[in-house]
Amino acid sequence: MILGLDISTSITGATVLDNSGNMVYNEAWHTRNKKKFQNHFEKVRYIKEKMLEVTSSYNIDKVFIEKPFMFFNAGGSSAKTMSSLNTFNGMVSWMCSDLIGIDPEYFTASQARKLVGVQISRGENSKEKSLKFLVDNEPNFVVEYTRFGNPRPGVYDKSDSYIIAKAGFVNERKTNTG
């Protein structure tokens, strides 16, 4: 089984696909509560608890993680934010390796979308386009909306973790079939 993670310091998306590529688990692990999670270590401990729940229910063979964004762009994240995300990503990556004995493999978001077949044209919102792809192609994916009709916090993270997991599945199939 494949575990796909979209790691963030506020919400981490997690998806498990079975050996046929079917989604059997898809959740958002919220770590935004500043009273409960005062630092990265507390957040990683919480994610570890969630990982233990997942690994006790599913026999994970591969772990795929979205690489954090590495380049500056207008209106994007600050150096401090990017550094914090990279640190957190590394901590969770190590925890995966240490906890379940599987070294994660990484995809950029664009690599994953390409492998899965999500096509993004210039100027399109990649998160919205990926979510639409998932809604159109995965009947078990649940989208919850706010009263204003926007996806609830965590929906895009769940969507992104699915794209990462599915990219890992597709890549493994290509690798194993030649």
pLDDT in tens, 55-87: 999 999 999 999 876 544 545 556 776 677 878
pLDDT in tens, 120-165: 888 888 888 888 888 888 888 888 888 998 889 899 999 999 999 9
Question: Collapsing DSSP states into helix, strand and coil, what is residue 161?
Answer: helix
Structural domain spans, the chain: 2-177
Calculate the dihedral angle through the C-alpha atoms of 18, 161, 139, 145, rounding to the nearest 10 degrees: 150
Which strand ranges, in their side-by-side order, compose the sheet holding 2-6? 23-30, 11-17, 2-6, 62-66, 105-107
Mean pLDDT is lowest, of 26-30, 46-50, 74-78, 91-95, for 74-78
* Superfamily name with CATH number, domain 2-177: Ribonuclease H-like superfamily/Ribonuclease H (3.30.420.10)
Alpha carbons 81 and 87: distance in angstroms, whole number:
10
